[in-house]
Amino acid sequence: MNKKMKKFLVLPLVLAAALTGCGSEESAGGDGGAPEKIKLIAAHNQTSPDNPYQVGLLKFKEVVESESDGNIEVEVHAGTIGTEESELVEKLKLGAADVVLVSPGFMTQTGIKEVDLFALPYLFDSYEHWEQVVDGEVGEEMATIVNEKSNNDFKIVGYWSAGVRHFYGKKPLESMDELNGMTIRTQTSGVVSDYWKQAGAVPTSVAWGELYQALQQNVVDSSENSYPYFVQQNHHKTDNGKYVTETAHDYTTRFLLVNGNEFDSYTPEQQEIITKAVEESVQAEREALLAQEDEYKEIAITDGAEIGEIDTAPFAELAKPLQEQAAKDIGAEEMYQKIVEQK
């Protein structure tokens, strides 16, 4: 988990970035004059002001407003216009938001099943591997699929990281057998759920905002996430969250989305500014995430959490046939093979 991400490669798709909601004939300077001021709403679903998502969107705001001399204003929302991804995506489609961050797991609910590829446990084995994939050919292919299947409602303009996810629960894991019968807060359907079931655990649905209480009151025995996310929520201080086992089962991908349908209403200058801001936000978010992984691991240790390592080979072996079947089921076998070959 201590491997550092390399300098990211900008998606070629970003060069055609599209923003929604605020575009109009006037904003594009349709009368031949200077473009009118526009306002962009950028949102994520995390409420912590220290979250890497917030760092990334604040960088986006800084660059857009600086490069446009204030002619493009960005309003950043940290969980204030929706703590559920479904709310944010609906606002994106309706024009009430212009830039949002979502997970592959949610995007499958929109009918774009190929994105579930990036959520497969143990698909990536390092940050370097993850970056090679999302910033390369496979990332471009995925962005194209999302754009085409959504009829341009969704356009991936950047890939952010939510860190490497680990198990944390009421006891440390020394072998996979100790998961037998243990309830774990995670996805309750799809390949992620199937994986934890195969490992012996019982996937259980608990809202993120209710998870601290659920861990404290024995509603669930365990959960899984990356250090910045569960430590900021104090899950490591609960009776059922104090033992962290570094399973590193998911180098987590998040999609930075815009709505492409109003692209033509922006001037080339506005597009260039927004493109540059997206590029810098990707870099800022990833750097913040890496720094926070080390920082919040140390905070967890200081607070009394116990951190343990485990041989992840059996966990990865369990995942392999599930990966292969899932890739076949969602029609992403070629992309899956490209990812495996890059390890």
In a structure prediction context, what are the per-residue pLDDT tens digits for the chain, which is 343 residues long?
444 554 444 454 444 434 434 443 344 444 555 667 899 999 999 888 888 999 999 999 999 999 999 999 999 999 899 888 889 999 998 889 999 999 887 787 788 999 999 999 999 999 999 999 999 999 999 999 999 999 888 889 999 999 999 999 999 999 999 999 999 999 887 889 999 999 999 999 998 889 999 999 999 999 999 999 999 999 999 999 999 999 999 999 999 998 887 665 788 898 899 889 999 999 999 999 999 999 999 999 999 999 999 999 999 999 999 999 999 999 999 999 999 999 8
Q: Is 127 exposed, middle or buried (0-12, 13-18, 19+ CB in 10 A)?
A: buried
* DSSP-assigned letters across all residues of 216-276: HTTS-SEEEE-HHHHHHTTGGGSTTTSEEEEEEEEEEEEEEEE-GGGGGGS-HHHHHHHHH
Residue 12 has what DSSP assignment? G
The string over 268-293, giving b where at least 16 C-beta atoms fall within 10 Å of a residue's C-beta and e elsewhere, is eebbebbbbbbbbbbbbbbbbbbebb
> What pLDDT is stored for residue 3 in this prediction?
47
> What tokens appear for 72 in the block?
């493009």
What are the C-alpha distances in Å from 305 to residues 6, 239, 312? Answer: 30, 10, 21
* DSSP-assigned letters across all residues of 280-302: HHHHHHHHHHHHHHHHHHHHHHH
> What pLDDT is stored for residue 265 in this prediction?
75
What is the SS3 assignment for 130?
A: helix
Give the C-alpha separation, 157 to 75, whole Å: 18
> What pLDDT is stored for residue 8 in this prediction?
47
Question: Which single residue is written with the structure tokens 């754009």?
Answer: 147
> What pLDDT is stored for residue 33 in this prediction?
56
> What pLDDT is stored for residue 263 in this prediction?
62
Nearest to 156 by CA among 253, 241, 225: 253
Which domains are present in the chain? Answer: 12-163+252-298 (3.40.190.170), 166-249+303-341 (3.40.190.170)
> What pLDDT is stored for residue 19 in this prediction?
41
> What tokens appear for 119 in the block?
């959520």
> What pLDDT is stored for residue 16 in this prediction?
43
Rounded to a whole number, what is the largest CA-CA distance in the chain? 69
> What pLDDT is stored for residue 287 in this prediction?
97
Between 127-134 and 137-149, two packed helices, what is the crossing angle to 10 degrees? 50
Give the C-alpha separation, 313 to 328, whole Å: 23
What are the C-alpha distances in Å from 49 to residues 55, 93, 143, 297? Answer: 8, 26, 29, 18
Between 313-329 and 333-341, two packed helices, what is the crossing angle to 10 degrees? 150
